[in-house]
A and B are shown apart, each in its own frame.
Chain A
Amino acid sequence: MADTPEQIAKHVKKYLFIGALLIVFTFITVGMSYVELAGPDGGQTNNILFGMAVATFKALLVALIFMHLNHERKIIYKFLVFTFAFVLGMFVLFILCHDNPLVMDAFERSKSALEHAHYHHS
Chain B
Amino acid sequence: MEIPYTVNARPDTGLWNAKVGVWLFLASEVMLFGGLFSSYIFLRLGADYNWPVGVLDAFWGCVNTLVLIASSVTIVMAWASLKMGKVMAYRIYLFITILCALGFMAIKTVEYKGKFEHFGVRLTDGTLLEGHFPKEGYRIEFEDVTKFTLELDGVYPESNPKDFLRDCTTPEAERKFLNAAGKEVILDEAGLNALRLEAKAQKKTSVELTSTKPLKFSIKRGAFGFIDPIYSYTAESIFFKDNTQTNGKLVKDSMTLEVDLADVRDCADAEKSLAWHYLGDEQKAKFIALRDEKLAAFKKSFGNKEDPYKSPHFKRHGLVLKVVGGAHAAAGHAKPEHGGAETDTTHAEHVASGHDHPSVVIEKKDITFWSNFTPKYNTYYAIYFALTSLHGLHVVAGALVLSYFLFFDGKLLRKDPEHMANRVEVGGLFWHFVDLVWIFLFPLLYLL
Contact = CB atoms under 8 A, between A and B. Distances in A.
Interface of A: 1, 3, 5, 8-9, 11-12, 15-16, 18-19, 22-23, 26, 29-30, 33, 36, 40-44, 47-48, 51-52, 54-55, 58-59, 62-63, 66-67, 73, 75-76, 79-80, 83-84, 86-87, 90-91, 94-95, 98-99, 112, 115-116, 118-119, 122
18 contacts: A8-B83, A9-B84, A15-B73, A16-B73, A18-B73, A26-B66, A26-B442, A63-B432, A66-B432, A75-B13, A76-B20, A80-B27, A83-B30, A90-B38, A91-B38, A98-B42, A119-B307, A119-B309
B302 A67 contact: no
Interface of B: 13-15, 20, 23-24, 27, 30-31, 34-35, 37-38, 41-42, 45-46, 53-54, 58, 62, 65-66, 69-70, 72-73, 76-77, 80, 83-85, 268-269, 302, 306-307, 309-314, 316, 428-429, 432-433, 435-436, 439-440, 442-444, 447-448
A36 B443 CA distance: 15
Contact of A30 (B15, B20, B83, B447): B447
Closest 3 CB pairs of A and B: A42-B313, A19-B73, A87-B34
B436 A59 contact: yes
Given A40-B310, A47-B448, A8 B42 contact: no
A26 B73 CA distance: 15
Contacts of A122: 268-269
From A47, A66, A91, A116, name the one whose CB has the most chain B CB atoms within 10 angstroms. Answer: A66
B425 to A, nearest CB: 8
A73 B436 contact: no
A87 B31 contact: yes
Contacts of B41: 91, 94-95
Nearest to B429: A67
